[in-house]
Structure 1
Amino acid sequence: MTEVPFRPREKLVEKQQYFQHIHKHTYLKGPMDKITSVTIPLALAAASLYMIGRGIYNMSHGIGKKE
């Protein structure tokens, strides 16, 4: 009993050659990998820095204290 492959062999060979001959880091090889590896972490870092800065500003000026 043989199992049918998920993809045709030609398509698999084409993808393998694409990933073997590209000269980038392994985590940036796919077409959408820049979004997940670069953009999302930068957005999270920027948001956290903004919130930290806002918190320090509010503490130093006494804004938002509970009575």
Structure 2
Amino acid sequence: MKTFDVGYIVQMKKGHPCGSNEWEILRVGADIKIRCVKCGRIIMLPRSKFEKNMKKILKISNNTEK
């Protein structure tokens, strides 16, 4: 199981139509809410699909408050 949290910037296997493949994680649960870093579009994916399509973590958030 891959570990990720709110605020992480991740790279997905498929790029967004705007040309970016970097996404910021906004919400973690049964569904994952992510926002495109370039255009700001927000989508929700089931956790299983997100984990399958996530390539790697690019930047880890410095914000540690919950």
TM-score scaled to structure 1, two decimals?
0.18
- Structure with the higher fraction of residues in strand conformation: 2
- Structure with the higher fraction of residues in helix conformation: 1
TM-score scaled to structure 2, two decimals?
0.19
More RCO (CA 8 Å, sep 6+)? 2
